[in-house]
């Protein structure tokens, strides 16, 4: 099947309860094994595929995800569009816990990750245009879907991609804010760039799970994050039911 839509689920979204599963497929790639089998199914009356970025048991930390294998596998089965769902920390005042956001920019602070397909025995050097890292058309669909569903969502913003797996220090978050970042996560890169290299339309749906370090009161706990993610992922599921027919 070609021209597929894929949903990549991050922390808090390791499965889609509303997905009518038809089959699961493990794809071997030249870059190793993906995070897990690709789940084929029907959602909102349309065929989609789903991949859990951290594995279906949420056991793969962000710096050890095989991003190249994940993206190559999706492209191999005919995926042309990806909605990438990710939990993030809020930096600026408008990005409070529970908020949905559709970033339009990204700054990469990661290191030591396999971040390109263009290496090895090359016949020429390729430089992708990454001025606008997220697909404009797909972002417009997410924005329209959120409005139609009556969801309050931030329709722009800059995503800071950090290495992880530890959370950031308060000083690091202040640096990110000075750099112009609105939210911080650990999986946005190289995922977005690899999708661009493969010609896949890619857009992010970020769910703010907590205030970033130093932006809230006290320490950041997994209990707080889990509570916000439950609410946020319910909003994501509502959004997907509306957006998928539009895409």
Write out the binding residues for phosphate: 11, 53-54, 187
| CA-to-CA separations, 87 to 6, 122, 175, 215, 242, in angstroms, rounded | 18, 36, 20, 16, 20
Using a 10 angstrom Cβ sphere, with 0-12 exposed, 13-18 middle and 19 or more buried, the burial of residue 165 is exposed
Binding residues for substrate: 186, 210-212
- Point out which residues pair with 198 in neighbouring strands: none
The two tokens of residue 46 are 């349309």
Q: What is the dihedral of CA 211, 215, 219, 221, to 10 degrees?
A: 0
Distance from C-alpha of 233 to C-alpha of 209, rounded to nearest angstrom: 10
Binding residues: 11, 53-54, 186-187, 210-212
Query: 124: helix, coil or strand?
Result: coil
**Cis amide prior to 165 (ω within 30 degrees):** yes
Distance from C-alpha of 2 to C-alpha of 99, rounded to nearest angstrom: 33
The two tokens of residue 28 are 């071997």
Q: Where are the beta strands (DSSP E) in 10-125?
A: 20-25, 38-43, 46-52, 79-90, 100-101, 105-108
Contact 215, 90 (CB under 8 A): yes
């Amino acid at each position: 099947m070609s021209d597929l839509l894929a949903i990549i689920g991050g922390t808090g979204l390791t499965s889609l309860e509303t997905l009518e599963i038809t089959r699961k497929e493990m794809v071997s790639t030249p870059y190793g094994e993906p995070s897990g089998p690709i789940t084929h199914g029907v959602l909102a009356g349309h065929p989609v595929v789903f991949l859990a970025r951290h594995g279906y048991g949420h056991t793969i930390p962000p710096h050890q995800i095989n991003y190249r294998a994940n993206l190559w596998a999706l492209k191999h089965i005919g995926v042309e569009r990806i909605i990438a769902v990710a939990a993030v920390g809020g930096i600026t005042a408008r990005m409070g816990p529970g908020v949905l956001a559709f970033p339009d920019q990204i700054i990469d602070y990661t290191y030591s990750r396999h971040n390109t397909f263009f290496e090895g025995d090359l016949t020429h050097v390729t430089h992708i245009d990454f001025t606008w890292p997220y697909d404009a058309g797909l972002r417009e669909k997410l924005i329209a879907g959120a409005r139609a569903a009556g969801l309050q969502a931030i329709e722009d913003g800059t995503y800071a991609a950090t290495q992880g797996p530890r959370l950031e220090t308060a000083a690091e978050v202040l640096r990110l804010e000075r750099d112009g970042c609105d939210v911080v996560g650990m999986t946005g890169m190289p995922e977005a760039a690899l999708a661009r290299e493969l010609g896949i339309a890619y857009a992010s749906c970020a769910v703010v799970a907590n205030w970033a370090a130093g932006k809230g009161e006290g320490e950041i706990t997994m209990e707080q994050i889990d509570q916000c993610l439950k609410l946020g992922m319910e909003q994501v599921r509502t959004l997907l039911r509306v957006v998928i027919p539009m895409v």
